[in-house]
Chain A
Amino acid sequence: MFCLFINAAMKRYFVRFGVSLLLYAVSLVLSVLAFVHFRPTGVVAYILAVLPALFIVAQIAAFALYLSEEKDEFVRNLQIESMLWGIGATLSATTIWGFLQSFVHVHPLDLILVYPLYCALSGVSYAFVNMRYK
């Protein structure tokens, strides 16, 4: 039987992550609309450009907070191991792509994609790390 274990620290993390994700989506739409309709310049342009990224930073902070609050050391260990594999895989992939960009002029990597790439690779890593303990 499949049983999803969700403790109090995880619940708090899901709430924080969900709120950050929602604010990210709202700020992204607002920034895009502002740039399309008002073509802001100067400091306002910088603030609007950075605003959605701040909520990505909030998601990373929410995960860091979750790790500090997680009382189940085995679960925490799984998360940290998956995160490290995710970071390693993301650094490897983006570094390889960077060299390809420099020498054989492949399509430039949009840096906005690095965080979603990390999330995807961490997710895949979690599945593999979790399998080891089955």
Chain B
Amino acid sequence: MKNRLRVLRAERNWSQADLAERLEVSRQSVNAIETGKFDPSLPLAFKLARLFESTIEQIFSDES
């Protein structure tokens, strides 16, 4: 699944480790989600949306 996490992170000047800390997951998890290798669950997607003050659709798109 495509996502804008890298862009959103860069806008806030956050590293993957910073985002991981805010989400309470490992940096490896953030990397896997960001590179589209792992699709997060709905609760984690909502957590990301809240953190970036956007909607899930603004962060993720189902185009392959």
- Interface residues, chain A, CB within 8 Å of chain B? 3, 5, 7, 71-75, 77, 132-133
Chain A residue numbers with a CB within 8 Å of B24 are 71-72
- Interface residues, chain B, CB within 8 Å of chain A? 24-29, 31-33, 37-38, 40-41, 44
In the complex the two chains form, what is the Cα distance from A77 to B40 in whole Å? 11
**Closest chain B residue to A78 by CB distance?**
B28
**Closest chain A residue to B31 by CB distance?**
A133
**Does the CB pair A133–B41 fall under 8 Å?**
no
Q: How far is the CB of B47 from chain A (nearest CB, A)?
A: 11
Q: Which of B27, B31, B37, B40 contacts A73 (CB 8 A)?
A: B40
Q: Which of B26, B31, B37 contacts A72 (CB 8 A)?
A: B26
In the complex the two chains form, what is the Cα distance from A131 to B33 in whole Å? 15
**Does the CB pair B44–A75 fall under 8 Å?**
no
Chain B residue numbers with a CB within 8 Å of A71 are 24-25
Chain A interface mostly = loop
In the complex the two chains form, what is the Cα distance from A9 to B33 in whole Å? 21
Chain B residue numbers with a CB within 8 Å of A3 are 27
Given A73-B40, A77-B38, A133-B38, do A5 and B27 touch, yes or no (CB 8 Å)?
Answer: yes
Chain A residue numbers with a CB within 8 Å of B37 are 132-133
Chain A residue numbers with a CB within 8 Å of B31 are 133
A sample of 20 cross-chain residue pairs with beta-carbon separation below 8 angstroms, ordered by A number, consists of A3-B27, A5-B27, A5-B28, A7-B26, A71-B25, A72-B24, A72-B25, A72-B26, A73-B29, A73-B40, A73-B41, A74-B29, A74-B33, A74-B38, A74-B40, A75-B25, A75-B26, A75-B28, A132-B37, A133-B28
**Closest chain A residue to B27 by CB distance?**
A5
